[in-house]
Each structure stands twice: as C-alpha cells, then as structure tokens.
Amino acid sequence: MDNRQYNVLFLCTGNSARSVMAECAINRWGKGKFNGFSAGSHPKPAIHPLTIELLNELNYQTKNLRPKSWDEFAKPDSARLDFVFTVCDKAAAEQCPVWPGQPMTAHWGVADPAAFEGTNDEKRRFFFRIYRELENRIKIFTSLRIDALDSFALQQSIREIGRIKLPE
C-alpha cells in the first residue's frame, strides 16, 4: 500500500470560489493522503464572501484562505504537484505554466457561483450546489486506489470524475 501524500492543485481564473471550495474539500476528505491547494490565472483581491460564509457553515477553517496566482506553484522550488484540476472552463482554455513534477491533469468544470444572478437565498443555494458537486467528485477521487492503477487507468479515471454531475 502506498502511504505517500499527493499534492493536488485546483485552478480557476479568480481563485475566489470554486477552486477554494475544492481545496478545502480535498483537505477534509483526503486528509492524510492528499494536500490540497488552489490558485488562479488572474486571482481576485479577496475570496468571495459567500464562499467564506459557506465554508464557515460547513466548519472549515477559513482564516488563512487567500486568492493566489498559479505562478506560486510553477516555480522550480515549488512543491511537486501530482494532480492539477481546472474547475472553470476559462482556466482550462488558458495556457497553463509548466508544473513541477509533471502532474496528471483533468478538467472538472462546474458553473461559476460568483456569476450567478438571483436573490441572496438563491445565490447561497447555488454556492452550496456547486460545493456539493465538487465535494462529490473529490470523495470519488480520494477513494481511488491510486497505487493500484497504472498511469493510463488513473488518467482515464480522473477525466471521468470530471464528467460526473449532480442531479438537478
């Protein structure tokens, strides 16, 4: 059994909602096996307030969360990345940096909760729906027997996880 910890980076454009939720979720559900990080190609000045509100309601520690540029993870002395997942279509279409460690990559796109229009209650529900979709994928991912899969099967698995949607 492989006891190593895997570094996972979630990317979005602004790094203020989806990627931050995914970072928190993988650190919870993959504790001891996965280290989650998040970053953006064009990070916002602050985490979206509804992201912080939702994560606090779900008992996550949010004090040290901040938007980060993906450049922080592309330096030669940066942590070796094992997996990089884009969670927004815009970031998936951008030219990503070269990541240390030649990680496996997949697109796990979900709708942008920060762009959702509606009442405050509708926005909160939408943020929670996006969180649940990401959390569901992360639970499946963290349950994979990574050490038992060859690289082709693992790459196929992480791509398939990105296609899983919650029922409306």
Strands 6-12 and 34-40: what pairing?
Answer: parallel
Catalytic entry in 9, 47, 54, 88: 88
Neighbours of 44 (CB within 10 A): 15
Catalytic site residue 24? no
Catalytic entry in 96, 111, 140, 154: 96
Catalytic entry in 8, 9, 11, 12: 12
Neighbours of 61 (CB within 10 A): 10
Catalytic site residue 96? yes
Strands 104-107 and 83-86: what pairing?
Answer: parallel
Task: Spell out the SS3 assignment of 21-56.
Answer: HHHHHHHHHCCCCEEEEEEECCCCCCCCHHHHHHHH
**Residues labelled as active-site residues:** 12, 88, 96
